[in-house]
Amino acid sequence: MDTLILNPSKRYTYADYIGWLDNKRRELYNGFINLMSAPTRLHQEASGTIFGNLFIFLKNKRDCKVYSAPFDVRLPTKNGETKDGEIYTVVQPDIVVICDPKKLDKKGCIGAPDLVVEILSPSTSKNDLKYKYYIYEKAGVKEYWIAFPAEKVIQIFLLNSNNKYELKQIFVEDDKISPFLFPEISIDINEIFRD
């Protein structure tokens, strides 16, 4: 296979994205490429614990589905933009929960998930704290978790009535965290960030 050469200053669509068959992980932020690196072991352990708890909770109790990366979430800028050539933002959150089955198709999710979890690593912190925060806010993701493995902290942001994120709660060691969307579930922060 020939080496794929992409122009970092060119704006691409999801139609372009699905044609890149070189096995590199990428996201598109408003059409611009963001390369992704392999996550660390601590990142994967935290992700696995959160995912596992959500999966077990949602398995038989809700219509909601939980997915872990790599899982494409396509975020159209306007309602009704569902064609691959019209979508410029594609992200692969660490964990997503989607409660509207109409948003799921064979390619992943199209539209805002209900809950997104991003687990920071040194190579992704700028994206998760800055770019993805605004991407998720603009798309209408109701609940956004940002996990800081080194500090053993999780922040939860909720979309308010003005469609802006508000920091609702910060969870630290010895706390138990519950999604605002599913207050019945409780996950021990020490379990998420165990050494």
How confident is residue 1, by pLDDT bands cut at 50, 70 and 90? very low
Give the integer Cα–Cα distance in Å for 138 and 65.
22
Alpha-carbon distance of 154 to 101, in angstroms, equals 28
pLDDT of residue 8: 77
DSSP β-bridge partners for residue 157: 144, 167
pLDDT, residue 2, reads 53
Domain ranges of the chain: 39-76+91-192
Q: Once rounded to an integer, what is the mean pLDDT over residues 84-108?
A: 95
pLDDT in tens, 120-149: 987 667 777 888 999 999 999 999 999 999
- Span 39-76+91-192 CATH architecture: Alpha-Beta Complex (3.90)
Q: How far apart are CA 172 and CA 185, in angstroms?
A: 17
